[in-house]
Amino acid sequence: IAGRSVVSYFNFDTSNNKELVVKVALSGVSTEGALKNLCAEAGGKSFEQVVDEAAEAWNTKLDLFEIEGTEDQKAMFYTSLYHTMINPSVYMDVDKAYRGLDHNIHQAEDFTNYTIFSLWDTYRAEHPFLNVVTPMQNADMVKSMIRHQQQSVHKMLPVWSLMGNENWCMSGYHAVPVLADAIAKGVFTEKEEALQAMVETSNVDYYDHLDDYKQLGYIPFEKSSTAVSSTLEFAYDDWTIYQTALRAGNEEIAKQYYARALNYRNVFDKKNGFACPRYTDGSFKKDFDPLQTHGEGFIEGNSWNFSFHVPHDVYGIMDLMGGEKVFLTRLDELFEMHLPKKYYEKNEDITEEGLIGGYVHGNEPSHHIPYLYAWTSQPWKTQFWTREIIDRMYRNDINGLGGNDDCGQMSAWYMFTVMGFYPVCPGTDQYVLGAPYFPYLKLRLPNGNILEIKAEGVSDTRRYVQSLTINGKKYDKLYITHTDLLKGGVWEFKMGTSPNKKRGQKAEDKPYSLTNGIK
């Protein structure tokens, strides 16, 4: 039955029994599928049994972590962990039948099919977090994305898909870094199949002016209102294809996408050191305002934030901005400036509650920025700002989250950051180190190993890392690899009230960058 004014209602005689139990089942496939799901998942079970089973399932997941902290801190921590495990969600019947992107019925024979891929948000930390705590599920999500691509008339991996539909929300093709990150971390091993899906996705010329991007090395501003941010996003995504091609041993594709990964350079105006709108004739927009979020070539952000959106080549953007001194000054100013309301009051995705200076924590493109100090001579500023962000943006309160959680991304940022590290550049096997938030945290890794992170006396005043030992050995690098993370063991951070300015200064201590800069 369909119609705008259709109403159905039921009457029940509750004179003898006041309690009414209703069981509902859903299927994306058929009525018969819904009945199978009902019998398998709720048949013969009381309401109390279902509640107990749900509680047990959630407790199993939440029990992956133990922390020391206040009751408010524990509530924030476990709520965030819960948020990271809601989406993506299973989308198939108990017999593994599901409705695909082509709206035909498919069988998920060797995997669990998932849906709700908010990839512009979740490639940054949500999927990398799942690679750490529930890698088997993330591998199934990757497989689901590849099946989506194979069923697509466009031969594209999902952009923002749900329930067998693509809604084309946001920009880039950010399923690509999710695949690349899973491969880099050994979670997904079918490299050739993944690489084919990635390359086909990145060559759909009619998608978001990819034809211009491939021809000119950037998207002209007169062709797209989000020309600059889309160029930056494509360049990073292309870098992840380059990395996957290297791992698959395909030198030809690696060479092609190495060149595409450098396309970010084409939208930096060297006169001002910002990423700027550029026209087909090569000229840059003259009346350009790097603080403005409307009409300047960016999606849900401004140039002040998006100019840092080259996570794969930090030394490259450092040089384009004018060198380390300018880079540092600009990072400092981003956090400390006052951003007038005129720059965001008409932008529903950027609100005052999500701002620290001009830094927009309430929206995803900025999430890696506090960690960029690691590439500079002042890495301790990451330790300062990450704790500041947690204190201001994550509170145990109904209004305590400084932005839309966006299918787990805001919470995944928190989960990584309280542990003391973050995946600045998914597609590498590295996590950039910050500082732990809690004096003690234990993580039960999926391989059975235990990771203990200790930071005795850590607090808002004692937020600076003096030294780090891993299993008793001094560790000065500003990053940790996924392989080392999975070994577990004991990480012991010695904290202090002032920074150790000598730590992490050597070139070999710095995280990955595609180049050593623009020479």
| DSSP state, residue 415 | H
The whole-number pLDDT of residue 354 equals: 86
CB-based contacts of 252, cutoff 8 Å, min separation 6: none
Q: How many CA atoms lie within 13 A of 468 on its CB side?
A: 23
Q: What burial class does residue 57 get, using C-beta atoms within 10 Å of its C-beta: 0-12 exposed, 13-18 middle, 19+ buried?
A: exposed
| DSSP state, residue 343 | G
The whole-number pLDDT of residue 435 equals: 98
Show the tokens assigned to 195. 């690489």
Asked if 42 contacts 51 with a C-beta cutoff of 8 angstroms, the reply is no
CATH superfamily of 64-509: GH92 mannosidase domain (3.30.2080.10)
Distance CA(485)–CA(361), nearest Å, equals: 26
The whole-number pLDDT of residue 12 equals: 92
The whole-number pLDDT of residue 351 equals: 83
The whole-number pLDDT of residue 137 equals: 98
The whole-number pLDDT of residue 346 equals: 77
Q: What is the DSSP string of 347-403?
A: -TT--GGGEETTEETTSGGGTTGGGGGGGSS-THHHHHHHHHHHHHHB-SSTT-BSS
Asked if 270 contacts 518 with a C-beta cutoff of 8 angstroms, the reply is no
Show the tokens assigned to 269. 């105006």
Distance CA(319)–CA(517), nearest Å, equals: 6
Helix (H) or strand (E) holding 489: strand 489-496
| DSSP state, residue 223 | T
Number of other residues whose CB lies within 10 A of the CB of residue 244: 28
The whole-number pLDDT of residue 132 equals: 98
CB-based contacts of 367, cutoff 8 Å, min separation 6: 124, 125, 361, 409, 413
Show the tokens assigned to 19. 């309690």
Asked if 350 contacts 404 with a C-beta cutoff of 8 angstroms, the reply is no
In order of 87, 309, 358, 430, the CA distances from 379 in angstroms are 33, 18, 20, 16
Distance CA(423)–CA(134), nearest Å, equals: 16
Distance CA(265)–CA(372), nearest Å, equals: 18
Asked if 178 contacts 127 with a C-beta cutoff of 8 angstroms, the reply is yes
Q: Where are the alpha helices (DSSP H) in 279-354?
A: 303-306, 314-321, 324-336
Pairing of strands 268-269, 165-166: unpaired
Q: Where are the domains of the chain?
A: 64-509
Q: How many CA atoms lie within 13 A of 86 on its CB side?
A: 15
* Bridge partners, residue 107, by sequence: 97
Give ∠ CA 124-130-136 in degrees, rounded to 5.
135
Q: What tens-digit pLDDT sequence spans the chain (519 residues)?
A: 789 999 989 999 999 989 999 999 999 999 999 999 999 999 999 999 999 999 999 999 999 999 999 999 999 999 999 999 999 999 999 999 999 999 999 999 999 999 999 999 999 999 999 999 999 999 999 999 999 999 999 999 999 999 999 999 999 999 999 999 999 999 999 999 999 999 999 999 999 999 999 999 999 999 999 999 999 999 999 999 999 999 999 999 999 999 999 999 999 999 999 999 999 999 999 999 999 998 999 999 999 999 999 999 999 999 999 999 999 999 999 999 999 888 888 777 888 888 999 999 999 999 999 999 999 999 999 999 999 999 999 999 988 998 889 999 999 999 999 999 999 999 999 999 999 999 999 999 999 999 999 999 999 999 999 999 999 999 999 999 999 999 999 999 999 999 999 999 999 999 999 999 986
Distance CA(514)–CA(475), nearest Å, equals: 23
